[in-house]
Chains A and B, each alone.
Chain A
Amino acid sequence: MTKQPMRVWPAEGASRAPYWIYDDPEVFRVEQERIFGQSWCYVGLAAEVPEPGRFQRSHVGDRSVILVRDKEGKINVLENRCAHRGMEFCRASAGKATRFLCPYHQWTFDLEGNLCGVPFKRGIHGEGGMPDDFDLADHPLRKLRVTNHNGAVFASYAEEPEPFERYLADPMRAYFDRVFDGRPLRVLGYMRQRIPCNWKLILENTKDPYHATLLHSFLVTFGLFRADQKSEVRLDPSGRHAALVSRHGGRQLTVAASEMASYKSDYTLQDRRLLDMQAEFHDGVGVVMMTLFPNLILHQQGNSLATRHIVPRGPDSTELSWTFFGYEDDDEALSTRRLRQANLFGPAGLVSLDDGEALKATQEGLRNARDACAVVEMGGRDREDANVMVTETALRAFFHHYMHVMGFVRAEDER
């Protein structure tokens, strides 16, 4: 039997993205192994499990895990798969427990994932039962490595994951800690949607400020995110993470705005409260959109704060779970602003609605176009930080990292 030839990346390298990375089941399988099976992955907020016993279902890649706070107050991340027959035993999305009981054969696990009970372990009347050398200690739930960084919880399947300080290093860490500054968080609620596209398209979409200045006419029209605003794209040295930073400008027609077909100069809001934003960060930055490879988008847009957790379900299906939050010390006016500005985001968002629709249509467009590729040359062909919004530098940085992790080689390197 001949081995299927390894796929080859276009010779141009990171300024091209071959469409087979978005719909090939084999690529998806390898990603689960090499990316989601190795990297630190976002799993939730410490505020979702505020006290011992509280648990919350989550995902690492397409695998179900449980985020749980144990009796000592430590947060554990356990695979939601019974050590006996593999049942996904935790069925509720969240709750409080003193231990986990698998309904199938009632194997019982403590909140650290250790097996603490097996019914009929000694059999009945001397018949049946487990072998004498069966040791409960040998059969815990799969325990992931965990880091709780100022209330944001990350987990890794790797036995020895990369040091977290290297995974989230400056300058990304500084942007992340701007929001996760150690203040206790308050969860405001969830939005959940299944976008019929590959998981990378969602991540890439948030690394691409070029589209935001064009597709998102609502943002453009009201000066929330516009090509002519002071802005920056900051990259992680590895290329995997990025931060798009923008300062709000007023609404004024400029040369740049006139190039946007989507700019509606005659559209005014009846109720300005939707966009009435309160300065709450000392640096005055209106928007910071962060992508943390491989599965987290952190947004701060005005007073709206949310994590967007990417759960890949298949080559062309991805769940996006949005957790909106504020701080415990928010006053009512600020809480109301956060709730009101949430109108812009999620599956019905006046901004994010465009994304869901565009990503679905993109996946439909690239289906079965495996010999074609995306052209990613806005802002040049390099992958350096930029001080402009009309750039795809963060995409090139991402593809560069992705090729490396996946072991894909360029056509010319192969010869």
Chain B
Amino acid sequence: MNPETLRGYALRAAVEDVLYDYAAALDEGALERWPFFFTAGALYEVVSRENEERGLPLALVRCEGRGMMIDRATALKEVLFYSPRTYRHFISNVRPVWRSEERIEAVSNFVLLQTLVERETTVLVAGQYRDTLVVEDGKLLFGGKRCIYDTTMIPNTVVYPL
């Protein structure tokens, strides 16, 4: 995969495949698979649009590399207390471009719906993914992912990764 062989709709389809597989893994609750959508050194950040616009560095979630992602996934699966819930990702408006011979940058929109026990389904957060994708062993992986959420007031908690 390089800028010559992967272009136009094919490029978009390839990036969409990664995003949709990523969303499917999270929606199925397969947290243990989540870190392996990333390169070992990838930076995963969930950042409020407020902080982003004001140039403030704080992230809601900041995993510097796959190790920290595995730690978060394990904590969520085995250690933390939270009420059972279902998350469902909707990803659209995917716009990828090659930034170099090896690196794709892709922005897309996301909406995350949350369903709790005995409750109606509600929007938890909405925002934009700003992703970097690289080819590793013939597969596209996230070399970095910034999830910029628009939501100024989070409805209580964000449990699973965006």
A190 to B149, CA, bound (A): 13
Query: Is A339 an interface residue, CB under 8 A from the partner?
Result: yes
Query: Is B75 an interface residue, CB under 8 A from the partner?
Result: yes
Query: Is A415 an interface residue, CB under 8 A from the partner?
Result: no
Known contacts: A339-B59, A354-B82. The answer to whether A267 contacts B159 by CB under 8 A is: no
Query: Is B81 an interface residue, CB under 8 A from the partner?
Result: yes
Interface size class for chain B? Answer: 35 or more
Segment at the interface with A among B45-53, B87-95, B103-111: B45-53
B153 smallest CB distance to A (angstroms): 5
Query: Is A378 an interface residue, CB under 8 A from the partner?
Result: no
Contact B156 A189 (CB under 8 A): no
Residue of A189, A215, A217 most packed against chain B (CB within 10 A): A189
- Number of interchain pairs (Cβ within 8 Å): 122
B23 smallest CB distance to A (angstroms): 18
Mask: chain B, 140-160; 1 = CB below 8 Å from A; 0 = not: 000000000000111111110
Contact A192 B48 (CB under 8 A): yes
A356 to B154, CA, bound (A): 11
Query: Is B80 an interface residue, CB under 8 A from the partner?
Result: yes
Query: Is A196 an interface residue, CB under 8 A from the partner?
Result: yes
List the A residue with the shortest CB-CB distance to B45.
A339
Query: Is A409 an interface residue, CB under 8 A from the partner?
Result: no
Mask: chain B, 36-60; 1 = CB below 8 Å from A; 0 = not: 0000000000101011001011111
Q: Known pairs A194-B155, A271-B64, A353-B82. 15 more at Cβ < 8 A?
A: A94-B54, A187-B56, A189-B48, A189-B59, A190-B58, A217-B80, A221-B79, A264-B78, A269-B71, A270-B68, A343-B61, A350-B80, A354-B80, A357-B81, A357-B156
Binding site for A on B (CB under 8 A): 46, 48, 50-51, 54, 56-68, 70-72, 74-75, 78-83, 152-159
Binding site for B on A (CB under 8 A): 93-94, 187-196, 215, 217-218, 221, 262, 264, 267, 269-271, 273-274, 319, 324, 335, 339-340, 342-343, 346-348, 350, 353-354, 356-358, 360-361
6 contacts between A and B (CB under 8 A): A218-B80, A269-B71, A347-B154, A348-B158, A350-B79, A354-B82
